[in-house]
Structure 1
Amino acid sequence: MSASLEDPHIVPMARSRPRALVLRAPGTNCDRETVHALEIAGGAAEAVHMERVLAGGVAIDDYALIVLPGGFAFGDHLGAGALWANSLAALGEPLHRFVESGRPVLGICNGFQALTRLGLLTGGALAPNLSGHYECRWVWLEKPSPVTTPFLEGIERMSLPVGHGEGRFVAESDDVLAAKQASGEVALVYRDASGKPGGYPVNPNGSQGAVAGLTNAAGNVLGLMPHPDRNAAPGLAPAGRQDADGLRLFANAVRMAKG
C-alpha cells in the first residue's frame, strides 16, 4: 500500500504549519531532502547550521520540532556522530528543556548516532556493521508491540533504504535490551518482506535484537538508521517496495509538533 498526499496521515498544507528545525553540521548531506519531506508533510522547515545556533543567532525554543538528518557530520571522526554529539551537548539547557517539554526530536542515521552518544536515547551504542563495510540497500521494518510513540502512529510496516557503515545496535546487556523491548522503546526492527526476522541482509548491520530504531520512554525522541527522507515522495521506491512510506513518519512528526 502506497502513501500519497491524500493519505489521512498527511497533514494538509492549508493548515497551520509548525516550524521544524533541521540542524546541519559540517558533513551533513541529507538536510535538503529532509526539509523537502517536512514541507510535503505540512511543516515549515528550515535547515540551519549548528554554528548559527551555538552563536546565539537561532534559538531552538522558537521551533516545535528538531530533526537531525543523515550524513557524515564532522567526517565521522572519532566515531559516527561523536563530534556532532559534542556540539549538541554545548546547547546545554535549551536542548534538554526542549525534550522535557515533550516537543518531538527525530534523528535519522547520523542523527540517530548523535542522539545515542548524547544520551537522549539510551540502552546501547551503534557500532560498525558486522559485514565490515558500508551497507546501502532497501530494508523492511516493523513496529513491534508494545510501541506507542506518536512518531509511528498508524504505521505497522515500512520499507526504507539504509546507507551507513556504523548502524549495528549493541545493547549494554541482554537485560537492558529485554527491558527496552518490554517498555516499547525498541521502536523499529528489521524484518523480511513477509514480516519474519532474518540474518544478513534482512538485518543489514547485525543489530542485536534486529534493532533499527529506538525511542525514549516518553516517546517524543525517535532515532532510526533507515532513511525516511529517501522514500518520502511517490516514485522513489523500487518495484516491490511500498511507495512514500517515509512520508507517513514525517506527517506524524509534524502532527506532534502541532501539539
Structure 2
Amino acid sequence: MKFAVIIFPGSNCDVDMYHAIKDALQEEVEYIRHTETSLNGADAVLLPGGFSYGDYLRAGAMAHVSPIMQAVKEAAEEGKPVLGVCNGFQVLLESRLLPGAMLRNKDLHFVCRTVPLTVENEKTMFTRHYEKGETIQIPVAHGEGNYFCSPEDLQELKENDQILFTYKQPFNGSTADIAGIMNKEGNVLGMMPHPERAVESLLGSEDGLRLFTSILSYWREHHAVTS
C-alpha cells in the first residue's frame, strides 16, 4: 500500500507521519508538496499537523486552495482513505470535506500533552482494530482545536455514527467533546490528536498505530489479489 504525506509551507508533523508509515507500519510512503497536482498513484492520503501558511486568515484557510488539494478531493471522491491530523483536520474542514469549523481553545492556551480518548465507532476503515468504548492515549498539540458545528450538523454526525473519537475528559471546549469525525461515506477522517506520535512504546503509547493498521487491513481486504 502506498501513502502520500502532503506538505504545505509550515507543516511540521510531516516527518512524524512519514516515520509512522515507513518505520512503524513498514509500508511505502512519499512526500507530496502543495504545488503538485498529482498524488503519484497513492492509495491513501495523509494531511499532517503544523501551521500551514502560518495559519494566516484561519488555520487551514490558505492550504485548502493549494494545487494539490484538487487531487486530494478527487481521491476522497474515489473512496480512498484520507486522514487529516490537527492542522490537516483544519484543512479538511476548510475544504468542506468534513462539516464544522475550528475555534480557539476555550482557555485560549496552546495545549500539548497526552490525553485519553474514547473510541465511539469501531466499525470503520480507521478504527476496525479498536473496540467500541475503549480508552486510548493519544497526544494533542493545538491552540485552535475547539471543534464547533451547528446543532443540525451534530445531530447528523450522531445519527450517521460519524463521530469516531471523543475526549474522555473535556478540556478544549469542543462540541460534544469531539476529537475526530469522518464523512458520511466513511473514508475521510479528521482528528485533532496525533496518532502518528503514538506508534511505539518509546513515545509513551502505541495506541495510534492501530489506526494505521486499520487502514492497511481495510485496503488489503478490498484489494486482495485473487488467482
Superposed pair shares fold, TM > 0.5: yes
Q: Tell me which structure has the larger Cα radius of gyration.
A: 1
**Post-superposition shift, 1:61?**
5.5
Match of residue 207, structure 1, among 168, 174, 183: 174
Amino acid at match of 1:133: H
Residue 162 of structure 1 and its aligned partner are, at CA, apart by 0.5
* 2:2 and 2:29 in contact (8 A); partners too: yes
Q: Quick one: distance in 1 between partners of 2:216 and 2:116?
A: 23
How many Å separate the matches in 2 of 1:164 and 1:227? 10
Structure 1 residue 98 displacement after superposition: 1.4
Pair 1:41-2:25 in alignment: yes
Which of structures 1 and 2 has the larger relative contact order (alpha carbons within 8 angstroms, sep 6+)? 1
Distance 1:177 1:101 in 2: 25
Alignment of 1:62-101 (within 5 A): 62-87=41-66, 91-92=69-70, 94-101=71-78
CA contact (8 A) 1:149 1:215 kept: no
Rounded Cα–Cα distance in structure 1 between residues aligned with 2:32 and 2:52: 14
Structure 2 alignment gaps of length 5 or more: 223-227
2-structure distance, mates of 1:64, 1:212:
25
SS in 1 for 2:90: helix
Quick one: which amino acid aligns to residue 151 of structure 1? F
Deviations 1:171-215 (A, max 9, x none): 12x232122112111111000xxxxxxxxxx32311010000010
Q: Where do residues 100-111 of structure 1 align in structure 2 (5 Å cutoff)?
A: 100-111=77-88
Over residues 227-252 of structure 1, what are the superposed CA-to-partner deviations in whole Å (9 max), with x where a residue is unaligned?
Answer: 01111112211xxxxx2111111111
Could you tell me how far 1:91 is from its partner in structure 2?
Answer: 4.1
Q: What SS does structure 1 have at the residue aligned with 2:181? A: strand
Asked if structure 2 preserves the Cα contact closer than 8 Å seen for 1:139 and 1:162, the reply is yes
How much is the aligned-residue C-alpha RMSD, in angstroms?
1.6
1:96 Cα deviation from its structure 2 partner: 3.2
- Structure 2 match to 1:151: 126
Q: Is the 8 A contact 1:120 1:216 kept in 2?
A: yes
TM-score by length of 1: 0.79
Cα deviation, residue 21, structure 1: 0.3
From the superposition, tell whether residues 91 and 136 of structure 1 become closer, same or farther in structure 2 (CA, over 3 Å). Answer: closer
Q: Aligned ranges for residues 1-259 of structure 1 at < 5 Å? A: 18-39=1-22, 40-51=24-35, 53-54=36-37, 59-60=38-39, 62-87=41-66, 91-92=69-70, 94-122=71-99, 124-145=100-121, 148-155=123-130, 156-172=134-150, 174-191=151-168, 202-237=169-204, 243-258=205-220, 259=222
Shift in CA distance, 142/78, structure 1 to aligned 2, threshold 3 Å: same
Paired letter, 1:150: M
The offset of 1:219, in angstroms, is 1.0
Residue 141 of structure 1 and its aligned partner are, at CA, apart by 0.7
In 1, Cα distance between the equivalents of 2:178 and 2:104?
A: 14
Q: Report if the CA contact (8 A) 1:66-1:105 is conserved.
A: yes
Contact 1:142-1:157 within 8 A present in 2 as well = yes
CA contact (8 A) 2:129 2:211 kept: no
> How many Å apart are 1:42 and its aligned residue?
3.2
**Number of positions where the alignment pairs a residue of Structure 1 with one of Structure 2:** 217
Code of the residue aligned with 1:62 in structure 2: it is G
What SS does the aligned partner of 2:193 have? coil
For residue 103 of structure 2, what is the amino acid of its counterpart? A
Identity %: 35
Q: Give the letter aligned to residue 230 of structure 1.
A: R
